[in-house]
Amino acid sequence: MTLSEAPTTSPALVTTALEKSYHSTEPPTRVLNGIDLAVRQGEFLAVMGASGSGKSTLLYCISGMDRPTAGNVRLGDLDLTELSDRDMSRTRLTKMGFIFQQAYFLSNFNLRDNILLPALKAQPKERAEVEARVDAMLQRFGIAHVADHGITQVSGGQLQRASICRALATKPAVLFADEPTGALNSSMTLDVLDALTGVHRDGTTIMMVTHDPACAARADRVVYLRDGLLVDELDLGTWHQADTSRRDGELLSWLRDHDF
């Protein structure tokens, strides 16, 4: 299957001829050079590439945080590139979840309220249901005991698990993650990867940008970006603990072929 071909499973996300240029330089800087990509419903996709290859720009353009210069993005039957800024903001709130390298929590709110706020904004008339869902996620991800703590009173790993809770609190169609373990040590990284793996097993579609092979090895499929183009992909299949060594070796060999 080529990168431009739609997979047999109904895609959650499809980009067609996606381009992004910045015109603050002369000549303009072209970051994305015509990306065709389909992300399957329920797939865990990792995007890798050297620094400056356009990984984060791709994620931002797909998720509507930045507007592409050309091409289009479809989320299910919805053409995101045709939406107004207001409608795009509403779509991000109700249909997308985001995890970043930094948690970006409000310092004057405790952990639970930081998770609860966007969910209540998305579903203001369903407070009881939203609160019950948030409390269940706090339990599931092992941070209920620090729910009333301030964001400076918990560890980096706990903050990232809280970020996952916040991203899932609105029941998004797609979860976007941009270097979600970039600021964590190896123990905290494993903790967050286990949480993401659990989310994926629930059927959540995940698109993750990462420079870390250990993170990418958890994905079903890895695509490689070079100079704003998707040049290759590696299908790893569903992650299982017992298969870790083989997957890690296969991925590292593939990355070496790309001089990563």
User: Is residue 229 in some structural domain?
Assistant: yes
- Establish if 65 belongs to a structural domain: no
29 domain-assigned: no
Q: Could you give the CA distance from residue 50 to residue 53 in angstroms, rounded to a whole number? A: 6
pLDDT at 7: 43
The tens digit of pLDDT for each residue in 136-189 reads: 999 999 999 999 999 999 999 999 999 999 999 999 999 999 999 988 888 889
CB burial of 32-50 (b: ≥16 within 10 Å; e: otherwise) equals: bbbbbbbbbebbbbbbbbe
Task: Identify whether 20 is part of a domain.
Answer: no
Q: For residue 107, is it within any domain?
A: yes
When divided into structural domains, the chain yields a total of 1
In a domain, 62, yes or no: no
Please answer whether residues 66 and 88 qualify as being in contact, where contact means their C-beta atoms are separated by less than 8 angstroms: no
pLDDT in tens, 71-101: 999 999 999 999 999 999 999 999 999 999 8
**Is 67 a member of any domain?**
no
Helices (H) and strands (E) in the chain, counts: 8, 10
Read off the CATH number of the domain in which 102 is found: 3.40.50.300
Asked if residue 56 lies in contact with residue 47, where contact means CB atoms within 8 angstroms, the answer is no
The predicted-structure confidence for 199-250, as pLDDT tens digits, reads as follows: 999 999 999 999 999 999 999 999 999 999 999 999 999 999 999 999 999 9
Considering the domain boundaries, does residue 72 fall inside one? no
Tokens 């419903």 map to which residue?
Answer: 41
Domain limits at 175? 41-54+84-257
Percent of the chain with pLDDT over 90: 84
